[in-house]
Homo-oligomer: A and B are copies of this chain.
């Protein structure tokens, strides 16, 4: 299924070297001012070629809205959009026509479909995430009106990680460096590691942390569509994602209940809050009004600019070495994608909960 969401739904299409990437957003609330400059700026955040840490592939990546917006406002009808593919060096991939690249989806797609578009990974290319970022931008426009803000940042690259939690940093600083880490000093060390890895023709993984603030209590649908299950599914659907956790996550399994429980207390304004937020803003699958905090693990990029042994479609062993332009680390460009997926899920759950 190339569709995500229940009320606010994105259906996407497009291959890396096809004519265009695009999608349809169904369920966009009507009457929302559509800030096209903002939408394009979100897309620019995931664009290749932003720094020496990312692929040199230059794509204009201009989004064209084809429907659902009238005189600057959403009408409630589906929003069709496309981003034309340009600057395709398809010939760079001719050698991949008959080869399965290690740890890519070449082999599994071939098993599943019996046919594959080998150019640039076809449908499995991260260019597919363009549709997600566009839909996420539309979602952010709605969430903004509800006072809900979504931020993500690089919290770990290889073995270099931030020591603090999201509350220890000014998250706006993440956008001031190419790694998208809110601590400039750590960001520089991460960048250095990425450059080092790149020089070796190798790649490296990392972790992105996401934070949703301003979220009302009551979002999430029990029992199979809990808020964190929907967020987890959305994050795990991003290329190269290998893990998802929220609140105290995996590290919290060593704690006692008496340590991890969030004690309720009055907020002094007639409402209820908690003394701590070990739960990550979600209890029983439903938001409790606290900040929602989660982490996503990304593996090192599978494409290496060095020779690797592999097997061809003819069953014979051979070698493969990527040509062309590739990211040594997905983290910097994955930050806006994580935000987009969080925005899509959050808005969907808001609309389900009629918030």
**Contacting residues of chain A (125-161) with chain B, CB-CB under 8 angstroms:** 128, 156, 158-159
- Interfacial chain B residues near A257, Cβ < 8 Å: 103, 202-204, 300-304
Interface flags, A299-336, vs B, CB<8A=1, else 0: 11111101011110001110000000000000000000
Please determine whether B263 and A309 come into contact, CB atoms closer than 8 angstroms. Answer: yes
Please determine whether A105 and B286 come into contact, CB atoms closer than 8 angstroms. Answer: yes
- Interfacial chain B residues near A212, Cβ < 8 Å: none
Please determine whether B253 and A117 come into contact, CB atoms closer than 8 angstroms. Answer: no
In the complex, which of the residues B200, B249, B265 contacts A297, with contact meaning CB atoms closer than 8 Å?
Answer: B249
Stretch from A38-46, A50-58, A167-175, A229-237 at the B interface:
A229-237
Cβ of A96 < 8 Å from any Cβ of B?
no
Name which residue of chain B comes closest to A303, CB basis.
B257
Please determine whether B311 and A14 come into contact, CB atoms closer than 8 angstroms. Answer: no
Cβ of A91 < 8 Å from any Cβ of B?
no
Complexed CA–CA distance, A12 and B79 (Å): 9
Complexed CA–CA distance, A212 and B259 (Å): 34
Complexed CA–CA distance, A214 and B307 (Å): 31
Which one of A77, A225, A302, A311 has the greatest number of beta carbons of chain B within 10 Å? A77
Please determine whether A252 and B14 come into contact, CB atoms closer than 8 angstroms. Answer: no
Cβ of A62 < 8 Å from any Cβ of B?
no
User: What residues make up the interface of A, taking CB atoms closer than 8 Å to B?
Assistant: 1-4, 6, 9, 11-15, 18-24, 26, 30-31, 64-68, 70, 73, 75-80, 82, 100, 102-105, 107-109, 111-117, 122-124, 128, 156, 158-159, 197, 200, 202-207, 217-218, 220-226, 228-230, 232-234, 236-237, 242-250, 252-266, 270-272, 274, 278-280, 282-289, 295, 297-304, 306, 308-311, 315-317, 353-354
Can you report 15 residue pairs joining A to B where beta carbons are below 8 Å apart?
Answer: A1-B221, A12-B78, A20-B67, A22-B66, A30-B113, A76-B113, A102-B261, A108-B217, A111-B217, A197-B256, A202-B258, A237-B285, A253-B300, A258-B304, A354-B354
